[in-house]
Chain A
Amino acid sequence: DVKVTQSSRYLVKRTGEKVFLECVQDMDHENMFWYRQDPGLGLRLIYFSYDVKMKEKGDIPEGYSVSREKKERFSLILESASTNQTSMYLCASSLHGVETQYFGPGTRLLVL
């Protein structure tokens, strides 16, 4: 059974702080994704990675960066958190060539 875990379920940060969200998958998946989920907007892709040290911008990369140093771990970084980054963040992974994405439980981030 595929397991995707995220470092925190809930996080409260202050404006201007640097925030790290981590995602780990245990199924040797090549592809990993970061989405944010907002009411009425669905899931929007921030960044994805199809291999170690590789990254591609999604639809809303502004204000975010990512890091993939190891295959199983994909980190989302908010360089200087702002209140409009308050959201639910979902990580997902998939096997290369297989479209099914497996999601993590999500991190609800509140930026004050």
Chain B
Amino acid sequence: GENVEQHPSTLSVQEGDSAVIKCTYSDSASNYFPWYKQELGKRPQLIIDIRSNVGEKKDQRIAVTLNKTAKHFSLHITETQPEDSAVYFCAASSTGNQFYFGTGTSLTVIP
């Protein structure tokens, strides 16, 4: 089955700096890669996703890049703000039903 690895497990950045979280996957059949944000005590929520036919996608301060050859994808957050502090999960899917999640990155933005 698919194996998704996520790094780093914790990340601290100064407000205004950029944050990058990286994930690798093993199954070349995976074609959909969402990112979820989970604030403390709240449910995970989708923040951005990318499909395998696209190399990069951007939504305001958030961007995701995908390198199919190397089987890795990354989340980039620019101009970080304290409200970006949360746990971020990457995931991969080849079926659109079964998702394999990374182990999560706890991001802290220091004011």
Q: Which residues of A contact B (CB under 8 A)?
A: 4, 31, 35, 40-45, 48, 50, 56, 58-59, 90, 94, 97-101, 103-106
Contact = CB atoms under 8 A, between A and B. Distances in A.
B48 to A, nearest CB: 11
A51 B37 CA distance: 27
Interface stretch (B14-22, B64-72, B98-106): B98-106
B80 to A, nearest CB: 22
Which 10 pairs across A and B sit closest by C-beta, in order of nearness? Answer: A103-B43, A42-B103, A43-B101, A42-B101, A99-B96, A103-B44, A42-B104, A105-B43, A99-B32, A100-B46
B33 to A, nearest CB: 10
Contact of B44 (A59, A90, A94, A98): A90
Q: Determine the interface band of chain B, counting residues with CB < 8 A from chain A.
A: 20 to 34
Q: Which of B34, B96, B99, B104 has the most CB of A within 10 A?
A: B99
A97 B97 CA distance: 8
Nearest to A41: B103
A90 B43 contact: yes
Nearest to A43: B101
A43 B89 contact: yes
Q: Which of B44, B49, B100 has the most CB of A within 10 A?
A: B44
Nearest to B2: A59
Contacts of A43: 44, 89, 91, 99, 101
B1 interface: yes
A50 to B, nearest CB: 6
Q: Which of A58, A100, A105 has the most CB of B within 10 A?
A: A100
